[in-house]
Amino acid sequence: MDKAMFKDMDLIITGVRIVDAERDEFGIIIIEDGLIVSLDSATGAKGYSVINGKGLTAMPAFVDTHAHFREPGFEYKETIETGSKAAVRGGYTTVLLMGNTNPPASTREIIESVQEKGKAIGLVDIIQCATVTDMLGGEDISHLESVLEATKFITDDGKGVMNDKLALDAMILAKGKDATVISHAENHYFSQTDMRLAENLMTYRDIELARISGSKLHMAHVSTREAIGRIIESKNEGLNITCEVTPHHLIGDSRIDYRVNPPLREREDVVALIKAIKEGHVDAIGTDHAPHSQEDKEKGAPGISGIETSFSMCYTVLVKEHNMSMNQLSEIMSEKPAKILGIKKGLIKEGYAGDIVLVDEDASYVINSEEFESKGKNTPFNGLSVYGKVIMTIKAGEVVYKGADYDSRKNI
């Protein structure tokens, strides 16, 4: 990957199928000074770098509402740099990072340092969550007044907030700061005996607390049919709730012996999630990219390294197998996640960020984690044949990822 291959050059992508949540047409995309300026024709006398998109589909670059880049503290699993490289290989240019680092993201200094390092690397835009409770201790939220000056997202992802009163107080505070609470729905009293009940009970509780507080609530990695059913009901009631589903909960089920939290569920749950997506109830694909070392994985650490295979897995399951439109896929991988994060991305439209991913819908390949840019090679999907391949990722008009097979297409 050569990050500077088209640096500071304005781009024209020609002859490409353009797909986002609102359009599906053939045309050209013109990016100037980092923004999309036209889908028609170049009017200025500027020199452009031209990318021939014939045979490819241009989509708004993907936006991830849930990822772990492990820095600070767990750099042996992943770093902001390796996570960023993995993200652009997967077609992502924006990621929301969880706060269960070491130390946890419980201070402005940590949040700002992660975001500044992301800017310095320059591959993806990073938004860092703060923890709901100080140092993930589950007992104190006094730090929130400070950290909510640096970010508008709080979560105790990986643990959840067990104290009901503290959870409500955090939501009330978040409401006053126009911040979003992200729920890791897991009742620890049932974690060792019934993970389905653990997720469902905490889902029900957090929805009720959101009703009382009026805060924005985002339900992370929804995995059970009961949980998604209650979320749909709450949305229909008009509560300010959004939700995400992971790629691995769409393509895998309990027949796969692989530890992830929440666990891979029953086939009936997978069917319910796919139905909810097709009916428009799911707002985002959150990868829950959770890289681990081989040693940590062998010791039972839960999680899948998934940001590089997210598009292919979702395209295979949702579009190829369940006939969902590419517009709908773009909606939950780009447009709605961008709205959740409050950024002007997610559509291929004049004035929006020039963040584009070029994909080959006809390409199929076999997942091989040894090819991952991520340090985490942990996935149960090695050897799985999938459709849809990310060929190029563009951020603000700059090519930040080019697939190994791109040059053979002679598009430049």
Query: Quick check: 247 and 306 in contact, CB under 8 A?
Result: yes
Nearest to 386 by CA among 330, 325, 306: 306
CA 35/CA 348 separation, integer angstroms: 10
Is 164 among the residues known to form the active site?
A: no
Per the structure block, which two tokens stand in for 410?
Answer: 């002679």
CA 361/CA 319 separation, integer angstroms: 10
Numbers of helices and strands, H then E, in the chain: 12, 16
From 64, 206, 269, 288, active-site residue: 288
Nearest to 114 by CA among 92, 147, 157: 147
**Burial category of 186 from C-beta neighbours within 10 Å (exposed 0-12, middle 13-18, buried 19 and up):** buried
Beta 216-219 vs 180-183: how paired, if at all? parallel
CA 113/CA 133 separation, integer angstroms: 20
Find all residues with CB under 8 Å of 68, minimum gap 6, and list them: 78, 83, 97, 98, 100, 288, 289, 290, 291, 303
Write the DSSP assignment of 334-379 as a string of letters: IIHHHHHHT-S-SS--TTSB--EEEEEEEEEEE--GGG-SSS----
The label of the residue with tokens 């390949």 reads 365
Three-state secondary-structure class, residue 220? coil
Please provide the size of the chain in residues.
Answer: 412
Beta 125-128 vs 153-155: how paired, if at all? unpaired
Q: Which residues are catalytic?
A: 288
